[in-house]
Each structure stands twice: as C-alpha cells, then as structure tokens.
Structure 1
C-alpha cells in the first residue's frame, strides 16, 4: 500500500515530494511513504501468507505459481534467498520475467534471475530439464 502515493506515477510523485524523498520511500526497508506501508511491513504479511498457504502446497509436491506486485515479490525473495534488509533494497525485478525456485528437502533452490531476460537462467524449465539441471548441480557440489 503506497498510501498518499497510490495512483501517482514516478514522475508525478517526484514532482510533488522531491526525487530524493521518493527514492528513499521506494528503496528503504523500513521507511513507509505517507500513510503507506514500508517493505518491512509488507514483508510480514507476504511471508506469513507464503509460509502458511504456499509452502504446505510445495511440501505436498504441488507446483505453485506466484504473481504479485514488486514489494510482495521482494519480500518473498528476501525470505527464499535469505537476503538482509540491505540486500533486498538493491534487488531489481524485471516485469513479467519468471523466476523459478525448486523446493526440495525443505530448501528453496533458485533457478531464475531477476537481472533480465538475456540471462540464461531466467526462463522457466520443464520438469525434466529442471531434474537434469539439479543432477548436474549435485554432481558439481560433490566434486567441489
């Protein structure tokens, strides 16, 4: 929830409040915009939902797709990748680019990248390719 910034585009918001202040609201972890939510506040709700509703589905062997707004996704990625509050504020997400995580033995393994569509790992894998890639990763870990 962007509070008083709701419905304004980036340019309108910067003109009204100043570029530096808006950048601080958009990229800080714990500073909310006026009458809005910070990433920290959003994270509590998004991660709680993920843990309560999505993880049990994954544990039962189901495949789940999550589509959400930027801060909700940042919050979930922060949880999955164990990012710090400093690391998550620098996380850039590309609109419409899928990120694939594989859940195995209680762990999340990243199989996608928020960097951009040209990076090889961005596109979603078929299950067969995901299993093959996983085997390669396990083999390389054993030889390391």
Structure 2
C-alpha cells in the first residue's frame, strides 16, 4: 500500500535548513539540545514533538489503520519525529520515554497488526544486521535474493 502525505515531516521553523553546528552557533548548544530532546518545547516558529505527534498519529489512524484493517501491508517511511510519534502511539510510550528513543536511519521496525492491536516484532540490533524479516513465504523468497552491504 502506498500513501503519501505532504505534511509528514516535522516543522523546524527558524531551524529549517540549518545543520546542527549552524543551529548551535546561532542559538546555543543547550537551547538546541532542549528543542531536540523536549516533548513539548517547540523551536521558534516551529513545532514540538507533541505537535508533530498530533498530526502524525492522526494521519496514521485515519489513513494507515484502515488499510491494515483491510489486510494490506503498509510501510511507513518518514522523518525521525514523525516516526517517534507513531512509535510512541504504537508502543504506548510516555513523553519522557519517547524523547530518549533513538532511531537508526534506514533500519526498519516491524509491527504486526492483529485483532486491532500492534505487536512489535523488533528491529535489527545494528546497521550491519540484515533488516528484512521473513514472516511469510513471500518474504522468505524475497529475502533469499537480496544482498546486504554492511
């Protein structure tokens, strides 16, 4: 299933387009750390993780869950805060737990949707571990023809 949403990324406001060093130089390292690791403190003219979660989880519930309920497989690829927000919802994390959640770029997490519940099947330990999970015959066949670069 392929869905696109034009607002699926975090809005960084005045931080948009700046790299970490430029942001630290402009606003101070402590302030940047607070914005990046806070749940409810947004950067200037931007949005907090809490604000992003309102959008991302609403979209997930409205647009993704119906496809899962219909028996379709869905892959969600998004920016870190959108993914953190969805994972917070799926794993029932607190605002304190989600701010310490580290996501590895390009490493998938697999959830099984069963009887209206989400069950996390985990993710690879590190980037060198193969990141395709074989839970169906089709995925086993696909995995056997893939090669992975460490």
Q: Shorter-normalised TM-score: what interval?
A: 0.7 to 0.9
Aligned to 1:66: 76
Aligned to 2:20: 10
SS of the counterpart of 2:122?
Answer: coil
Judging by fraction of residues, say which structure has more helix: 1
Distance 2:30 2:125 in 1: 24
Unaligned runs of 5+ in 1: 130-144
- Cα displacement (A) at 1:115: 5.8
Distance 1:14 1:99 in 2: 31
- Cα displacement (A) at 1:126: 2.4
Distance 1:19 1:114 in 2: 31
Distance 1:9 1:74 in 2: 20
Q: Over residues 66-87 of structure 1, what are the superposed CA-to-partner deviations in whole Å (9 max), with x where a residue is unaligned? A: 0000100000000000000000
Cα–Cα, structure 1 residues 11 and 114, in superposed 2: closer, same or farther, change >3 Å? farther
SS of the counterpart of 2:123?
Answer: coil
Return the TM-score normalized by structure 1: 0.83
Ranked by relative contact order (alpha carbons within 8 Å, sequence separation 6 or more), the top structure is: 2
User: Which of 103, 127, 131 does residue 135 from structure 2 map onto?
Assistant: 127
User: What RMSD, in angstroms, separates the aligned Cα atoms of the two structures?
Assistant: 1.6
